[in-house]
Structures are given as C-alpha cells and as structure tokens.
Amino acid sequence: MEYIGNGFLKAILLLLHGDAETFSAIYATLKVSFYSMTASLVLGIPSGFLLGYVNFMGKHQVRLVVDTLLSLPTVFIGLMMYAFLSNRGPLGHMGLLFTLPGIAIGQTILALPIVIALSATAVEAMDYKLRTTLISLGANRMQILLSSLWEIRHGIFAAGLTAYGRVMTEVGISMMVGGNIKWHTRTITTAIALETGKGMFATGIALGLVLLLIAFSVNIMVSFFKKKLV
C-alpha cells in the first residue's frame, strides 16, 4: 500500500509544480460550487426562514418533503438532469448538457434542501422570548425579522457549510451532467473517479487531499467572517 505515502507526496508536487490539469479541475470545482452555493443560499435561506418562522397550512407536510429530499442520491439527480438537459429532453434547447452551469443546477437541487431544512431548524430553535421582548420594546415587523435573522446567523453558517461539503464532494451529478470533459467540465471529484478507473491510485489520493485542502481554506475564511460577526 505504497499509494498512501505516494499520494501525499504527489499532492504536494501537483500544487507546487502548478500542474495545469489539476488547476483546471480546481478551477472548475470552485466555479461550479460557487454558482450552486450562491443559488442555493439565495433561494434557501429565505425559504428556510419562512418555513421555520411562519405558521401556515400544510407546514408540517412541506417540512416532511424537504427532510426527505435530504436523502436525494446524487446519481439520481444526475440522471434526471441528464434526461431534462439532453438534446432530446424538455430543456435540451438550452444547451446546458456538458457545461458547468448544467452541473451547478444539479448541485443546487442537491444543496437546496440542506440549506432550507437546516435554516428552518435554526429558526425553530430560536428563543421564543426574543420575539415578545422585541415587541415589548416597540420594534416594528421589519426590525423583528432582521433581528431574528441576526440571531440565527450561526445556524445559517452551519447550513451553508454542510451544503458546501455536499456540493464539493459529489460525483454523480458532475459525471452524468458534465461528462468529465478534460479542460472543461472535469472537476476534482470526477478526476479522482477517472484516475481510480485508470488505476492511478496515488494520483487519485493526491487529488482527494487537494480537495480537502480547498475545503480547509474555505472553512478558515468562514470562521474568520464568523469572528467578525460575533
């Protein structure tokens, strides 16, 4: 099992030598996860907030659906996305198959339930006395809303990071929708799958470590923001 040591060594070499293929995969991964995270946060945080904050008919059922969607398998999303985006599919005219935006849509479907469910949970866990206190202090509705959002910011950070972890690490969607096209839609995870298929286990391990390194940097950045936002 000399792969393990070789993998670590290779990871360092790939980064230090500025290996073009690796950087192309890193760029694709960052780009596509940026798209999908932006979309799922913009759509997910307000929806999750409403789902936790507002009482409406069928709320329980909606929650049940969202929680079920947490178990969406990525290969299944990939397959459904392919069916829709294929030139023979209903959305084929948009030309999104084998593109990064196509992958991003699939990843948004993956991340959205996570963001919604976890932000809703954060709202539900919020101290109910906050609202009464705010009302008694004479706050208007907008102020109540903003203060509540502010109160649950840590929950939202956790939601975002969890979703980011899923998006960064999925293979099923990127492989099926993106097609693992070199220099274009090859992400780190599909590159790992390819290298494993080629039997280049050390390179696969190296790429996995590169992915972890990126996740580490992202988490450092987030924790820096969190500190600023105490």
Partner 1 sequence: MNRNFFVRVLLICLLAAGFFSSAYSEPQTLMMATTTSTDNTGLLDYLAPLFTKDTGIDLKWTAVGTGKALELGKNCDVDVLLVHAPDAEKQYVAEGFGVNRREIMYNDFVIIGPSADPAAIKGKSVLETLKRVQKGAHPFVSRGDNSGTHKMEQSLWKLSGLNTPEKENFYIQTGQGMMATLTIAEEKKGYTLTDRGTYIKYEDKMGGNPQLKILVEGDDMLKNQYSVIEINPVNCPKTRSEQAKVFANWIAGEKAQKWIGDFKLLNKQLFIPNAK
Q: Does 225 bind partner 1 (CB under 8 A)?
A: yes
Taken in order 205, 209, 215, 218, the sign of the CA dihedral is negative
Smallest distance from the beta carbon of 70 to partner 1, in angstroms? 26
Nearer to partner 1, 28 or 110 (CB): 28
Tokens coding 223:
């924790």
Smallest distance from the beta carbon of 60 to partner 1, in angstroms? 33
Q: Going residue by residue from 77 to 116, which x/- string records binding to partner 1, judged by CB under 8 A?
A: ---------xxxx--x----xx------------------
Nearer to partner 1, 138 or 197 (CB): 197
Q: Going residue by residue from 188 to 217, which x/- string records binding to partner 1, judged by CB under 8 A?
A: ------x-xxxx------------------
Q: Does 130 bind partner 1 (CB under 8 A)?
A: no
Q: How far is CA 204 from the centre of its chain?
A: 22
Distance CA 156, CA 44 (A): 10
Residues 6+ away with beta carbon under 8 Å from 207: 11, 14, 22, 25, 188, 191, 192, 195
With contact defined as beta carbons under 8 Å apart, do 156 and 147 qualify? no
Q: Does 226 bind partner 1 (CB under 8 A)?
A: no
Residues 6+ away with beta carbon under 8 Å from 214: 26, 29, 30, 168, 188
With contact defined as beta carbons under 8 Å apart, do 95 and 177 qualify? no
Residues 34-63 that bind partner 1 (CB under 8 A): 34-35, 38
Dihedral angle at the C-alpha atoms of 217, 222, 227, 230, nearest 10 degrees? -170
Nearer to partner 1, 63 or 196 (CB): 196
Q: Does 228 bind partner 1 (CB under 8 A)?
A: yes
In what helix (H) or strand (E) does residue 215 lie, and over which residues does it extend?
Answer: helix 201-228
Q: Going residue by residue from 156 to 185, which x/- string records binding to partner 1, judged by CB under 8 A?
A: -----------------------xxxx-x-
| Furthest C-alpha separation in the chain | 67
Smallest distance from the beta carbon of 145 to partner 1, in angstroms? 14
Smallest distance from the beta carbon of 3 to partner 1, in angstroms? 10
Nearer to partner 1, 18 or 199 (CB): 199
Please identify which residue in the block is written with the tokens 């590159």: 191
Residues lying near partner 1 in the complex (CB under 8 A) are found at 31, 34-35, 38, 86-89, 92, 97-98, 179-182, 184, 194, 196-199, 225, 228-229
